[in-house]
Structure 1
């Protein structure tokens, strides 16, 4: 849904590609990235190594595709968490808390960030282009829709969306902070105090 709408790179959504990505998710979650190879994923998926390369690519492409698919899946969960809230500010606050909670608790993304932070770092920074753009455009799209629905002046929300994504990613990469956001209520308070004002920027 998200990547298709944005034109973000994504493996073909056919059954075989999904089967390979399912196997990659299981392999990476069980054994981590360092101990996993393309051969391991191919074996788990019941296909040849060549098929994995043709459908997805090498190990880095496989990891990136797997992570991007997980990001796209939790977008659906965040949408569901904020859908019933009446105002853009409320949806932003709840969405921020939901994103932090989902990523921290996610067996693949959160698990790898705890167990292999040095391995995951490139996929969340230097090699995170597709996922970063997808998340920025997702948030910008939601802010744009809210502007229209609530009769607000229509401004380009992309800069605000980018700032919010960068702030969120920085907390995930380096949780050491004077801000306490470990609990949902703390994350909501942080978002209301520091992120909501960005909407007026």
Structure 2
């Protein structure tokens, strides 16, 4: 790994640990990250940037990991309704159980939430790169009408984000409850079939 990438990885690993330990409100967080990474503050600024840049880099790193994990799920060949439920359960469950995301929601929602609301277009565009071929496959197979993949992906991302960041009258913290909710919401006939199986 080139030196710049290695230093960047060290900074992000140190930042993650600091933030998991409740460092979002620490006025000296940048110094703490530098110390934990074994680097000087100027080196951290040079290779990653200020705290906003570190936060953005962490989000991009975690989004990359998420998309890598999502790809094989997108590649599965299941009936469309079942596939959609499987994808949504993974996406919502992954986010609701993600330690860094949950720490940020707990300690500094004002820093995190814009990335998933007013700036969510960046995330949705990256999901689109993973999901478009799958949507087109279901259109070509006749399981979906000839919809614009981008619109469907955008809508499903907005639903997933809502399920991650809002609480309603149904507790969706349990994966089985989440699946039943999604199946019932997205396809009542599939819900009956899965309950019989």
TM-score range, shorter chain: 0.7 to 0.9
How far, CA to CA, are the matches of 1:183 and 1:46 in structure 2?
40
1:90 equivalent to 2:63? Answer no
Q: Conserved in 1, the CA contact under 8 Å of 2:25 and 2:107?
A: no
**Which runs of at least 4 in structure 1 moved beyond 6 Å after TM superposition?**
none
Of structures 1 and 2, the larger Rg is shown by: 2
Shift of 1:159: 0.8
Deviations 1:132-179 (A, max 9, x none): 43234433344235445x46666431111111111111222221x134
1:25 equivalent to 2:16? Answer yes
Deviations 1:50-73 (A, max 9, x none): 222232221112111102211221
Deviations 1:110-132 (A, max 9, x none): 23223433443233333444334
1:14 equivalent to 2:21? Answer no
1:65 equivalent to 2:57? Answer yes
How far, CA to CA, are the matches of 1:42 and 1:144 in structure 2?
46
Q: CA RMSD in A?
A: 3.0
- What TM-score, normalized to structure 2? 0.75
Q: 2:68 aligns with which of 54, 59, 76?
A: 76
- What TM-score, normalized to structure 1? 0.74
Give 5+ residue unaligned stretches, structure 1.
1-11
Q: Conserved in 1, the CA contact under 8 Å of 2:74 and 2:130?
A: no
Partner of 2:67, secondary structure, is helix
Give 5+ residue unaligned stretches, structure 2.
189-197
Partner of 1:86, secondary structure, is coil
Match of 1:174 in 2: 166
